[in-house]
Structure 1
Amino acid sequence: MSNFTTELAPGYRASRLIKGCWHLAGGHGTVDETQAVSDMAAFVEAAMTTFDCADHYIGVEALIGRFRQAHPALARRLQVHTKCVPDYDRLADCDRGYLTSIIDRSLSRLGVEQLDLVQFHWWNLAQPGYVEALGVLADLRREGKIAHLGLTNFNTRLTREILDAGVPLVSTQVQYSLLDSRPERGLVDLCRERGLQLLCYGTLAGGLLSDTWLGQPEPVEPLANRSHAKYRLIIEDFGGWSLFQELLAALQAIAQRHGVGLGDVATRWVIDRPQVASAIMGFTSTRHLPSARRIEALRLDAEDHARLDPLLARRTGPPGDCYDIERDKDGRHGRIMRYNQNEGRH
């Protein structure tokens, strides 16, 4: 995977497959911190040198900081994409001091003098201030605390508003997969026009887009982890479990044709989409490293797309633009969110 990178900004490259670290924040089983640090070393040695985390992923920035201390030579090859996600209950007083404290805390936890990429999120659009908050982050960028700025979970209209305000963005992180085509409803075109690239999560629907679930009944409560809770709802919006099973069968046929895994096909489909720089992979251990090498080598052709396109044409959702349905705090998607984790509150 030595050359499987992309240029997000002049002089700044990131892995096309980014190691996602959400699962290390809890809700996905017990975390063995020593093993997690060892796994991080193995991923960097295998040239997956970009990690995705967040200020509100409890304990994760500090865990990456522990890796950096334990493996200083490997740490010099690492890029860390974190997030700035002010708590829902703090948006009304999200001032310069509060935002600066978040950034300073991330710097301290990670053990660095500059954050490679800070991706900003704003929970409640009824509360003004997100453009002003990004202005503060742009100031911190000029001061050298941040190298690059991006967004996470903003729709097309809001992204345009932020760009028109002069905020210097390089990327936007959104959910994008065979199950979720919302970025294609305007955001991809805007990114092409304005020079932004997409960093995509949900590529494997929290592990549901895998051969493990081919031919299996729909999971029921209690679900195995938070990812299954989130992405089962996406499958319902996509068209239901029956259509999902048809998709899995098609992916399996393509995978067998190329001698790869079902999830490899789903991931390659995403990173081949226009304006997609990288897919964020929730790889939980080094057993996934062979998959990363297969994805790099895989090339989907016209026959593969001819098998997938009729199924994708039958999608019924998710509706709207990126993250619109998740912003309904009382809706199916919004009810499962945790809104106040930046200060350790749930």
Structure 2
Amino acid sequence: MTDHQQEIETFELGPLTCPRIFTGLWQLSSVAWGSAPAAKVRRAIAGHAENGYTAFADHYGSAEIMFGRAVKDVVSPIKIVGATKWCVFRPTEVTRPIVEEAVRERMDRMQSDCVDLLQFHWNDYSDHGYIVALQLLQDLQREGLITALGLCNFDAIRMDEICTTLGPDSIVSNQVQFSLIDTRPLHGMTDVCQKHNAKLLTYGTLCGGFLSDSWLGEPEPQLYDGSLTPSQRKYLDMILKAWGDWSLFQELLSVLRSIGDRHGGVSIANVATRWVLDQPGVGAVIIGVRMGIAEHKDDNKKTFGFALTAQDNAAIQAVLENSNGDRLIATIGDCGAEYR
């Protein structure tokens, strides 16, 4: 194991050993986040793995293909974990051939003889075909096509149902939105994870980059002035309409900056990430990266070099209590409700 790998906390995700920061590749799916030449992207992916960031998630669009090519460039014997998705958005007749085709397509695109972590999303809860689909995915897992099986944006009730129906240790994870702004997983989801020995893989933890030093002291941005990424538009809307207002958000950033200063000047993003990693049931945070453009490898590692104190957590909680964070579970719904 290299020194780089030793610096990054790891955890067990079923049979997989993973770093507690996953690298999110969704920004490769659209030029809206900016783009770099394919060769530069592949080198950046390989560079992440060689620096200890050995787990990659959310292979939308061409990202699966880019990832598959990049893995070939990585110096062995580094074990890389590729976590991709199968999302069912429309009414679908669930049969063995359809399920197997979905899995094999991902294997082909990622140039792998199995999918390390397949995260399953099902849009319509009224159609209980998701249970059948997951049982067929279990069959494929037993046959060696999938190493570990996870969920994506399932709520606590359905996750409990799925884990109970499929049996102990059947589901290793659920990927959900979780941040200082969106604390909905604390209202039931973390209890389900602990009950079934599953982990949360969290996205949106930095709110598209808003939970960072670059926004401290800045005026409220305009939602549609063309300067924001798709992720930033999504999270700004949540900050302003559901959670609180820009003034309270600035207060939160100021508190996070003070905490970072107490810990040797670590970044606001480090503090926000550390807070989520410390919550029950959280296995890893997925941080989206604009490969070849803006990567933050060195800064993200600082997340693992300090621990939040009781004083730090109390200061954060004092701001959160003035927000609508605890009411999001009622106003938006449980995890994933915003996508249904």
Instruction: Specify if TM > 0.5.
Output: yes
| 1:159-184 deviations in Å (ceiling 9; x for gaps) | 01111211510111111110011001
Q: Would you say 1:322 and 2:335 are equivalent positions?
A: yes
Counterpart position of 2:270: 264
Equivalent pair of 1:177/1:266 in contact (CA under 8 Å): yes
Counterpart position of 2:244: 239
Decide which of 257, 260, 272 is 1:255's aligned counterpart. Answer: 260
C-alpha displacement at 1:78, in angstroms?
A: 0.7
Residue 127 of structure 1: SS of its match in structure 2?
coil
TM-score scaled by length of structure 2? 0.90
Counterpart position of 2:299: 291
Counterpart position of 2:150: 150
Equivalent pair of 2:35/2:290 in contact (CA under 8 Å): no
Residue type of the partner of 2:233? A
Counterpart position of 1:37: 42
Q: Would you say 1:302 and 2:315 are equivalent positions?
A: no
* Cα distance between partner residues in 1 of 2:58 and 2:5: 22
* Cα distance between partner residues in 2 of 1:28 and 1:96: 37
* Cα distance between partner residues in 2 of 1:36 and 1:48: 15
Counterpart position of 1:80: 82
Counterpart position of 1:219: 221
* Cα distance between partner residues in 2 of 1:164 and 1:71: 39
Equivalent pair of 2:156/2:192 in contact (CA under 8 Å): yes
Counterpart position of 1:121: 121
* Cα distance between partner residues in 1 of 2:62 and 2:244: 36
Equivalent pair of 1:238/1:315 in contact (CA under 8 Å): yes
Alignment of 1:13-92 (within 5 A): 13-26=17-30, 27-54=32-59, 57-71=60-74, 73=76, 76-86=78-88, 88-89=89-90, 91-92=91-92
* Cα distance between partner residues in 1 of 2:102 and 2:205: 28
* Cα distance between partner residues in 1 of 2:198 and 2:136: 20
| 1:175-197 deviations in Å (ceiling 9; x for gaps) | 11100110011010111111111
* Cα distance between partner residues in 2 of 1:195 and 1:172: 11
5+ long unaligned stretches in structure 2: none
Counterpart position of 2:288: 282
Q: Would you say 1:162 and 2:162 are equivalent positions?
A: yes
C-alpha displacement at 1:72, in angstroms?
A: 5.7
Equivalent pair of 1:92/1:127 in contact (CA under 8 Å): no
* Cα distance between partner residues in 2 of 1:261 and 1:72: 30
| 1:57-102 deviations in Å (ceiling 9; x for gaps) | 100110011112333626x42111111112x23x332432222111
Residue 106 of structure 2: SS of its match in structure 1?
helix
Equivalent pair of 2:155/2:189 in contact (CA under 8 Å): yes
Q: Would you say 1:173 and 2:175 are equivalent positions?
A: yes
Q: Would you say 1:12 and 2:25 are equivalent positions?
A: no
TM-score scaled by length of structure 1? 0.88
C-alpha displacement at 1:126, in angstroms?
A: 3.3
Decide which of 207, 210, 219 is 2:209's aligned counterpart. Answer: 207
Residue type of the partner of 1:79? V
Residue 121 of structure 1: SS of its match in structure 2?
strand
* Cα distance between partner residues in 2 of 1:315 and 1:95: 46
Residue type of the partner of 1:129? G
C-alpha displacement at 1:34, in angstroms?
A: 1.3
* Cα distance between partner residues in 2 of 1:293 and 1:163: 33
* Cα distance between partner residues in 2 of 1:302 and 1:293: 22
Equivalent pairs counted in the alignment come to 321
* Cα distance between partner residues in 1 of 2:79 and 2:46: 11
Quickly say closer, same or farther: Cα 1:133–1:287, change in 2 above 3 A: closer
Residue 190 of structure 2: SS of its match in structure 1?
helix
* Cα distance between partner residues in 2 of 1:192 and 1:287: 32
Quickly say closer, same or farther: Cα 1:217–1:95, change in 2 above 3 A: farther
Residue type of the partner of 1:69? K
